[in-house]
Amino acid sequence: KAQAAVKIAKRSGKVEIYRNGVLKEAHRRFLVESRLRDALSKGALTLAFQPLIHLSSSEITGFEALARWNDEELGAVAPVEFIAVAEESGLIVELGRWAALEAAQTLARWDEAVGQTLPVGMNINLSPIQMARDDVASMFEEALRFSGIEGRRLTAEITESAIIADPEKARKLLFALKELKMSIAMDDFGTGFSNLASLHSLPIDILKIDRSFVSTMMEDHDKEVIVRTILSMAESLNLKVTAEGIEDQSLAHRLQQWGCWQGQGYYFAKPMNEAEAFDYWRVRWNFETV
């Protein structure tokens, strides 16, 4: 009898812990969503900018704009958490619109600060949830009109899942972005169901090899093979390649030797705030060459 009671207690204990866990998770999600809604309406999000480096010349070709959120109550919330919540709740539409506008306006502010058009661009991430809507091209059109910058300076980073979800819709959107003179990069390349046919038939300019392949390719032969395969395929298809997650010089050097066009990672710089990113560009830019 006593043993049975212990068993029940143990079991119900487990149930309690389980329920607590689920409740905690649901509560956290609820909290993050309501605080995020509030932060968006108050303009409390910021963008961080991580440089993109042309590997053979070491020149800065542009920056990737990455959303940051430091909440009064929750503290700094990781993008993987709040982007997921934003996608589930639909807030990603507003967040994405803000990010596109803010990224374009940042370039415009930098141009103004140096009195000329900077030879750098900006990469903006697009969620598959945004891509399922019909207003992405007009969102970018608005960002371009508002900031006065040229479309050729913006790159949309999309993911394979958005193309798989609705290939026809994706095709229309990508061609609309090309009409705006924007570039298209396939983000996290290698992690999804790489549809090779779509790489050929869609107006994709750049493959961004996911950092899960890049950062460990020196120790893991399989990853090296994947990276080299992507590089040679990209060359045949006339696509440029950006390697993410370059954390040391030997990786940068090796990728450059293999013909990789561009790199991004902590070895060059972590994502920085607007002022830091501008300084990063300014100290490396030789004004005499203008």
Q: Is 265 in the site for ligand C2E (CB under 6 A)?
A: yes
Q: Is 167 in the site for ligand C2E (CB under 6 A)?
A: no
Q: What is the DSSP letter of 78?
A: P
Within residues 199-218, the interface with ligand C2E by CB under 6 A covers 211
Q: How many residues are given for the chain?
A: 290
Q: Which two tokens stand for residue 76?
A: 């700094």
C-beta atoms surrounding 47 within 10 Å:
22
Residue 119's Cα: distance from chain center in Å? 21
Measuring CA to CA, which residue among 215, 222, 207 is closest to residue 250? 215
Q: In terms of DSSP bridges, do strands 75-77 and 60-71 run parallel, antiparallel, or are they unpaired?
A: antiparallel
Residue 86's Cα: distance from chain center in Å? 15
- As measured in angstroms, the least distance from the Cβ of 264 to ligand C2E is 6
Within residues 2-41, the interface with ligand C2E by CB under 6 A covers none
Which of 111/247 has CB closer to ligand C2E? Answer: 247
Within residues 108-147, the interface with ligand C2E by CB under 6 A covers 125-127
Residues that bind Mg ion (CB under 5 A): 125, 157, 187-188, 244
Q: Select from 234, 264, 277, 278 the one that contacts ligand C2E (CB under 6 A).
A: 264
Helix, strand or coil, per DSSP, at residue 166: coil
Q: Taken in order 209, 255, 263, 212, is the CA torsion positive or negative?
A: positive
Q: Is 187 in the site for ligand C2E (CB under 6 A)?
A: yes
Measuring CA to CA, which residue among 277, 260, 185 is closest to residue 268? 277
Q: Is 262 in the site for ligand C2E (CB under 6 A)?
A: no
- As measured in angstroms, the least distance from the Cβ of 265 to ligand C2E is 3
Which of 114/169 has CB closer to ligand C2E? Answer: 169
- As measured in angstroms, the least distance from the Cβ of 9 to ligand C2E is 42
Instruction: Tell me the sheet residues that pair with 158.
Output: 186
Q: Is 285 in the site for ligand C2E (CB under 6 A)?
A: no
Gyration radius (Cα) of the chain, Å: 22
Q: Is 79 in the site for ligand C2E (CB under 6 A)?
A: yes
Residues at the contact surface with ligand C2E, assessed by CB under 6 A? 50, 66-67, 79-80, 83, 96, 99, 125-127, 157, 187-188, 211, 244-247, 264-266, 271
